[in-house]
Amino acid sequence: MLLSLFPKGKRYTLGQKIDQVSLEIFENIILAGYLPREQKLPVLQKVSIKLDLLKILLRLAFETKCLDNKKYQQLVEQLLEIGKMLGGWIKTLKM
């Protein structure tokens, strides 16, 4: 979906990396949902790192004009919301 917005030259480098990291985030969130409580924290911490990486990649896509301002802002807002939910989940596991 997002990949089609990228110029052809960046589609198979930066665009694919963004798609790959996004899928890894989804996979690990689903995995964490099925794991026993004591095994969730390391997976969720990995998700947090991948989420930070995704934010950096999207910023790079914006700065290289692969994404317009409106689309970038929408994605960043969604990532911030995901980050808040993830942070809450991690916090409850640390208690």
- Residue 35 included in any domain: yes
Provide the number of structural domains found in the chain: 1
- The pLDDT of residue 30 is 96
- The pLDDT of residue 58 is 92
Task: Tell me the C-alpha distance between 1 and 91, whole Å.
Answer: 32
- Residue 3 included in any domain: no
- Residue 6 included in any domain: no
- The residue segments making up the domain with residue 75 are 11-94
- Residue 67 included in any domain: yes
- In angstroms, the Cα distances linking 63 to 3, 14, 23, 88 are 16, 12, 23, 30
- Residue 5 included in any domain: no
pTM: 0.86
DSSP readout, 30-54? HHHHHS-HHHHHHHHHHHHHHHHHH
Q: Which residue has the higher pLDDT, 1 or 22?
A: 22
What tens digit of pLDDT does each residue of 31-85 get?
999 999 999 999 999 999 999 999 999 999 899 888 889 999 999 999 999 999 9
- Residue 4 included in any domain: no
